[in-house]
Chain A
């Protein structure tokens, strides 16, 4: 685990926003992630997939910000999916008793499939 500076990118796949946080997900970075998700929510996008494939480390502040994203989406009856998490990241959610509040998928395709979206 050698965290790099955080950045967040995203793309829209039909009615699903796929967000790619990269690097170390802490307070500053987490705010960027929250605002990216909120930006989509404001435009009526209710389905969000967060792909953690390039996220090195999520600290507890990052986790609390992910909970805010979840809350925001729940308020509009939206869905939040997590994909491509490392074993350690999944375990951390498990240890904190939070795994029951999120949907986890091994990869982005399976999350999109769950959300009834085909890319092509």
Chain B
């Protein structure tokens, strides 16, 4: 239900993304893309972002009509989907015009009952559209029915004179659209192509895992004119603010312990909400580190987070007999941190090669897309202990608490440098020493230094800051190096992030603008955010074994 998002005041740090998406359908704005593929980890808040956008367009806007659709496992038979998609679109359009949210949820109301309202609003084209759709349905024309449902928003934008912003959630589920049974009509998602070409009807598409979503969009019919927008995790301080606001004023929590928990939750809003809810249920008014670790253990083994991951796991691995082998394989990978061949795995895990092959296939398709997520790893650990090792709930909780406490605190170094000539070299020297402390290979460090130098130069050149300072934070753990670079001044221009072909740059008089390309090539992740009055760039590099000196 698109209007059932969280209150706007609890929705933190996504203003830039909201503004960007809002521009897509705004006739007066210069949109940067026709359609957007919104990617991010599970729980990063993709659905919530769409809901927030919907709410704002619905209540504040007069011109752009929002349409939200979430693909559901129960409506994947093509005719069922077509009816559902079409009737939801009609109801949401009418709800917007009348500013009447009840119409959105009135799914039981047959379309013909809406005719008097449609007629009173003078939407003759909509009445015709409904007649056409019902005619296709009556004739049993499956393709015509699906196509007319999918193209209804684009048609309405054309004939109704109002742009429509289509938001498609859980689009990865759309891969399973079928005629009579699963797999009998693959490729129905490509029917969105025509609708996505309309400049009056931009689409924002999201789903999980990101790899599957992007695989669907490797189809040339869909990726043309589609921009990719990554929704990053919340920065640590914002995650902490969210956590504290969710706990409420009446519950106090030790800041250091809370920040430790936020690092464990990797800025994932879903996890933060779930654990804050669990902590509120304990009724405690002053939370200690122990309270947090106990609650965390309960949350990932039997709380809402465990429930969430169970539903993903069960949905992806439907064959009952394969659940245990897949679980054993996942645990093996988790503890070893690498993949072995089928033969070696069979020996180690004592499974037949045939079964192993089958389990590996399922595992590849499962792709939870949460590499390096400690919460997902802990969920797996707890499930493994329960289902494979048949350990008691008490034992599992104890193991998880131990794991939580054993996670080494990352080392954090902070420094401030002036925006002066060659000051970036001071930062480069600092990262050199920090890297040496954790035994990183010198070559590996040289690349990181390059990326950092570029980032500092960017801050100096583009911020126009009166303060003329760059704030740096280096966070290291055995698995990764994270560098946060902040500067006050002008907001970051998205033009700097646009990739310009080399030939085009060479033809330009001023052959500049290599900094971000270089940072992106060197680092695993480059995030740019506006935090209060500062621009924050976060450079993240995952550390592999080969990059650490023996």
A64 within 8 A of B: yes
Indicate whether A96 sits within 8 Å of B518 (C-beta atoms), given known contacts A1-B428, A2-B429, A61-B512: yes
In the complex the two chains form, is B457's CB within 8 Å of A67's CB?
no
B458 nearest CB neighbor, chain A only: A60
B447 within 8 A of A: yes
- In the complex, A24→B425 CA distance in Å? 9
Residues of B within 8 A of A60 (CB): 454, 457, 512, 514-515, 518
A3 within 8 A of B: yes
B506 within 8 A of A: yes
In the complex the two chains form, is B450's CB within 8 Å of A92's CB?
yes
Residues of A within 8 A of B517 (CB): 95-96
Count of A-B contacts judged by CB separation below 8 Å: 63
B1 within 8 A of A: no
| Residues of chain B from 73 to 98 with CB closer than 8 A to chain A in the complex | none
Return the contact of A64 from the options B446, B447, B453, B511 (Cβ within 8 A).
B511
B421 within 8 A of A: yes
* Chain B 495-519 interface mask (CB, 8 Å, partner A; 1/0): 0000000100010001110110110
Counting contact residues on chain B (CB < 8 A from A), the size range is 20 to 34
A63 nearest CB neighbor, chain B only: B514
- In the complex, A67→B510 CA distance in Å? 10
* Chain B 403-443 interface mask (CB, 8 Å, partner A; 1/0): 00000000000000000011011001100100000000001
Residues of B within 8 A of A98 (CB): 502
B522 within 8 A of A: yes
In the complex the two chains form, is B506's CB within 8 Å of A1's CB?
no
B521 within 8 A of A: yes
In the complex the two chains form, is B512's CB within 8 Å of A64's CB?
yes
Residues of B within 8 A of A96 (CB): 502, 514, 517-518, 521
Report the minimum CB–CB distance from A23 to chain B (whole Å): 10
- In the complex, A54→B511 CA distance in Å? 25
In the complex the two chains form, is A1's CB within 8 Å of B518's CB?
no
A110 within 8 A of B: no
- The residues of A with any CB-CB pair to B shorter than 8 Å are 1-3, 24, 26, 28, 57, 59-61, 63-64, 67-68, 71, 86-88, 91-92, 95-98, 101
26 CB contacts below 8 A, A to B, read A1-B445, A1-B449, A2-B429, A3-B422, A3-B425, A3-B428, A24-B425, A28-B421, A57-B425, A57-B428, A59-B453, A59-B454, A60-B512, A60-B514, A60-B515, A60-B518, A61-B512, A63-B514, A64-B510, A64-B511, A64-B512, A67-B506, A88-B447, A95-B518, A96-B517, A97-B502
The 3 tightest CB contacts between A and B, nearest first, are A60-B514, A95-B521, A64-B511
